[in-house]
A and B are shown apart, each in its own frame.
Chain A
Amino acid sequence: DVKVTQSSRYLVKRTGEKVFLECVQDMDHENMFWYRQDPGLGLRLIYFSYDVKMKEKGDIPEGYSVSREKKERFSLILESASTNQTSMYLCASSSRGGSRYTQYFGPGTRLTVL
């Protein structure tokens, strides 16, 4: 079974702090994604990566950056956390063409910025 893990289930940070969210997948997937999930807004794509060191902006990249130094790991970075970044963050991975493009999700990190 595909396994996608995220470094924390719950995280509380202060405004202005630098925040790292990590995601690891064990299925050798080429593609990895970071979403934020807010009530009434569904899932919105922040960034995605289609290969090591490759990244592409999603729909709401402002205030975020990402890093993918190894194939299995995709990090989301909040350079200076703000209260409007309080949200649930979901990581996902998928194979390029395999499994007919199904995404596999991690359990999510609920981030609160005070």
Chain B
Amino acid sequence: AQTVTQSQPEMSVQEAETVTLSCTYDTSESNYYLFWYKQPPSRQMILVIRQEAYKQQNATENRFSVNFQKAAKSFSLKISDSQLGDTAMYFCAFMTRTTSGTYKYIFGTGTRLKVLA
């Protein structure tokens, strides 16, 4: 079965510091998409960053970047210059094809990140 594992239930980081959230996944597919989503307290879940598995270059979005290691099936999120607004639950997700030819997503259990002033 395809799975997504986030081994850090909670983390904290000082404002302006860098933090890395880990994610590993298991799949036999060769082409897929990986995502990090952010859910701020009492607010809507939004996309942080996305990575296509066929691209070797790691995705970056401003202060957010990923370290994608395809062979190791690892997809970690690095947040640089952490800000108080980064306090949120972060979910790693993997997109997989279904037997009917459509696709669905598998989410990890989340990492609750708190940025400290």
Contacts and interface: CB of A to CB of B under 8 A. Distances in A.
A interface SS class: strand
Contact of A42 (B33, B35, B91, B104): B91
Given A45-B104, A58-B104, A101 B33 contact: yes
A69 to B, nearest CB: 19
A40 B95 contact: no
A8 B80 CA distance: 36
A27 to B, nearest CB: 14
B44 interface: yes
B47 interface: yes
B interface SS class: strand
A106 B105 contact: no
B46 interface: yes
A43 B35 contact: no
Interface string A38-67: 001111110010100000101000000000
B4 to A, nearest CB: 8
B86 interface: no
Interface residues of B, number: 26
A105 B91 contact: no
Contacts of B9: 40
Tell me which of B91, B100, B106 has the highest count of chain A C-beta atoms within 10 A of its own C-beta.
B106
A101 B106 CA distance: 13
A90 interface: yes
Contacts of A107: 43-44
B102 A50 contact: yes
B104 A105 contact: no
Contact of A102 (B35, B98, B108, B110): B35
Interface in B20-61: 33, 35, 37, 43-47, 50, 52
A70 interface: no
A100 B33 CA distance: 8
B64 interface: no
A43 B45 CA distance: 11
Contacts of A40: 9, 109
Given A42-B107, A56-B100, A105-B46, 5 more contacts: A33-B105, A42-B109, A96-B102, A102-B35, A103-B105
